[in-house]
Amino acid sequence: MLAIVCPGQGSQSSGFLSPWLELPGVEEQLSSLSEAAGIDLITHGTTSDAETIKDTAVAQPLIVAAGLVTAQALLGGAALVSESTVVAGHSVGEITAAALTGTLSNADAMAFVRERANRMAEAAAATPTGMAAVVGGDPDEVIAAITAAGLTPANMNSKGQTVAAGTSEQIAALVAAPPAKARVIPLQVAGAFHTHHMAPAVSALQALAPSLTPQAPKVPLLSNYDGAVVRSGEAALESLIAQVSRPVRWDLCMETMTAMGVGGLIELAPAGTLTGLAKRGMTGVSTLAVKTPDDLQAARELLAAHSSPEAGKP
């Protein structure tokens, strides 16, 4: 079985879309997605500096668009319909995953991420907040230290990595006094995502929901909330809205993929973070990060090896 996964905010880097613009049709696709997002994704993906694309209002639409471009290049427009494929996304990447599974149209996905990004940026601007990855240490001690600092364990990515979120002062205190045998690494994000600080964005997305037309996923789609398969379009949309202010349980998504018998995992651009987690948390799984078009052939081979009905059978 094959997993296709979509990264979240913080995975972007300056100029990462430049090589993709060399492929036929990508400029037109990005122009269309830019119109839906209300920002110039081509400029932000090629020439904008790191500080500019750190802005939540820019980063989130840019990451979703990058995933859609990568998927189009990888699949050639073919729909994901194989029962031996599962799709999941981390944080904003869950919107990309929803689009890939047919749960949201590309237009609805971009409308959703536009509203999400703008409202989360506003919420982040209200109070100086941020996030930091806590790497290593005893998991129970890490959670205890995060909670004691007044922070929220916003992303539980694996047994060895939890992301804490809260005010800038709380993050600084955790950096100054990390849990035993752990490192605290501040992340290049502009707010305390997946915490109560983002509650205003949840209300805005609930108001947007009636204008969207979610459909049942065509292939298994995992929820960030508990790692479970989402069965309906309505449930998927509810999950997307609620995850803005509740923790991302990527560790549970990886557990579900392992239990489903995933043997290969492809991460769409801007790739690298989720394949890194899979290498540590999904033993024996073949992983591939699609960072540039040069990675497409290897991704197609992995796709063919693991997504056919016979894949994994003796």
Cα separation of 157 and 101, whole Å? 23
Residue 221: per-residue pLDDT: 97
Residue 311: per-residue pLDDT: 44
Residue 171: per-residue pLDDT: 95
Q: Which residues of the chain have pLDDT under 50?
A: 310-314
Q: Give buried/exposed letters for 41-72 (b at 16+ CB in 10 A, else e).
A: bbebbbebeeeebbbbbbbbbbbbbbbbbbbb
Residue 81: per-residue pLDDT: 62
Q: Which residue has the tokens 């205890």?
A: 144
pTM value is 0.93
Residue 308: per-residue pLDDT: 59
Residue 17: per-residue pLDDT: 98
Q: Which domains does the chain have, with CATH numbers?
A: 2-124+195-306 (3.40.366.10), 126-186 (3.30.70.250)
Q: Are 3 and 267 in contact (CB under 8 A)?
A: no
Active site residues: 91, 194
Residue 307: per-residue pLDDT: 67
